[in-house]
Amino acid sequence: MADRTRAGIVIGADRESVLAVIADFPAYPEWAGQIRQARILQTGPDGKATLVRFVLDAGIIKDEYTLGYTWHGDEGVGWRMVEPGLMLSGLEGGYLLADAGTGTEVTYELTVALKVPMLGMVKRKAEKVIVDTALRELKKRVERG
């Protein structure tokens, strides 16, 4: 995959609270922008999702795909595409969490590969919008409680 798009934000909550929202996949359509459905297909021994099927509606990009998740304790989670969709051929990323005073610094990394050709500059801009929007929406969801 190509270079990752990366951004960060500080959320006024502890790591556990942030991870609880990240791990609540069925609730994603309530706060995660273009996600219309997120269905857990498999969980690990700790009860956390390891395979999740998503339905995405991001305007010109409508797709369904499956991501595999790897949890890193309270330090974050990574994902990679295990079943591509019609438009998305690859998706890899993660949330990295670190203490930040009375809150949590959350860094989001994302790389998107499309089956359709797209100028690199346009693709990077789209990735940046996705990452920035996801961080803002995660912050709102966590801080509302």
pLDDT in tens, 74-108: 999 999 999 999 888 889 999 999 999 999 999 99
DSSP single-letter state for residue 94: E
Beta 61-71 vs 76-83: how paired, if at all? antiparallel
pTM for this structure?
0.88
Q: What is the pLDDT of residues 110-120, one digit of tens each?
A: 988 877 666 56
Domains of the chain: 5-144 (3.30.530.20)
What's the confidence (pLDDT) of residue 33?
81
Question: From CA 51, how far away is CA 42, in angstroms rounded?
Answer: 5
Dihedral sign of CA atoms 60, 86, 81, 125 in order: negative
Sequence-separated (6 or more) residues with CB below 8 Å from residue 119: none
Other beta carbons within 10 angstroms of residue 74's beta carbon come to: 14
What's the confidence (pLDDT) of residue 26?
97
